[in-house]
Amino acid sequence: MIKVLLVDDHDIVRMGVARMLADVKDLTVVGQVKTGEEAIDFVRRTQPDVILMDVQMPGIGGVEATRKLVERFSRIKILAVSAHEEEPIPSRILGAGASGYITKGTCLDEMVKAIRLVAQGEQYFSNEIANQLARNWTNRDKASSSPFEALSRREMQMTEMIVDGKGNQDIADTMGVALTTLSTYRSRIYSKLNIDNDVKLTHLAMRFGVAKKE
C-alpha cells in the first residue's frame, strides 16, 4: 500500500484528489495539509511514501518545502502538482528534489501512474511538463534565460513572498530572520535583478513565470 500525503492550499482541490484516489486499491491518503510548513510537521509524525505537493502556496511554498523534506527525509518521494507549466517553476522544484511534475489537469489514470512510478524510485513528467523541460534544455544557451537564476535559494524564497503580497514581518517570521536582515536580502535582490522597488519585482516575476498571472 502506497501512503500518500496531499499538500495544497485549496480545500476543494485536496478533497477532490482524495476522493478520486479513495477507490484505488494500492493507494491510501494518509493526510491532507494546506502549507509546506504543515507538510513538514506532518511528516515528522507520520511518514508517507509519496507527497503530492502544490508548487505555489502561502508560507514557504512548495519549492522550499520540497527542499527541506528531501534533505530531512530522503526516503520520501515528492510529486509536484501545479496549474503552471511555464519555466522556471518546473526546473526549480525539480532542482529542489521533486521526483516528478504533473499538471492539475492530469486525469486520474495518469496521476495514479505517476504516483506508482515515483514511489518505485522513478521519475514522471506529464507531457506538457516534459515538452517544457525539453524546450528549456534546447534554449539553455540563449540570452532569454531567467534573471531569477542569479538569486540564491533564500533570495528566491523572499522574492516569492514579496510578489505574493506578504508583509515584512510575515516574511521575516517565515524565513526566521530579523527585519534588518530582510532589508539586506531585499537590497541584494534589487541589485541582482537591476530593479529598485517591489512593483518592478512583481512585474518581472510575472514575466518570467515566478508569480501567478491572475
**Residue 198 sits in the same domain as residue 101:** no
Which amino acid appears at position 115 of this protein?
A: I
DSSP letter for 55, please: S
Kindly report the length of the chain: 214
- Cα within 13 Å of Cα(93), Cβ side: 33
Please count the structural domains in the chain.
2
Handedness of CA 158, 164, 88, 202 (dihedral sign): negative
User: Which residue, of 94, 116, 138, is where some domain finishes?
Assistant: 138
214 within domain boundaries: no
End-to-end CA distance of the chain: give it in Å, rounded: 38
183-190 long-range CB contacts below 8 Å, 24 or more apart?
185/154, 185/155, 185/158, 186/158, 186/162, 188/155, 189/151, 189/155, 189/158, 189/159
Residues 162 and 108 in one domain: no
Pair 96, 151 in one domain: no
Mean pLDDT (the chain) is 86
- Residue that finishes a domain, picked among 99, 116, 138: 138
If asked whether residues 68 and 158 sit together in one domain, one would say no
- 3-state class (DSSP) for residue 17: helix
Regions of the chain short of the pLDDT cut 70:
85-87, 131-145, 211-214
Read off the CATH number of the domain in which 61 is found: 3.40.50.2300
H helix runs in 86-143, sequence order:
89-95, 108-119, 127-138
pLDDT, residue 213, reads: 47
Question: Would you call 155 exposed, middle or buried from its count of C-beta atoms within 10 A (0-12, 13-18, 19+)?
Answer: middle
Domain of 184, CATH number, reads 1.10.10.10
What's the domain range around 93? 2-138
121-135 per-position pLDDT tens digit: 998 888 777 766 666
Whether residues 73 and 95 share a domain: the answer is yes
Whether 212 is covered by a domain: the verdict is no
Q: pTM score, two decimals? A: 0.68
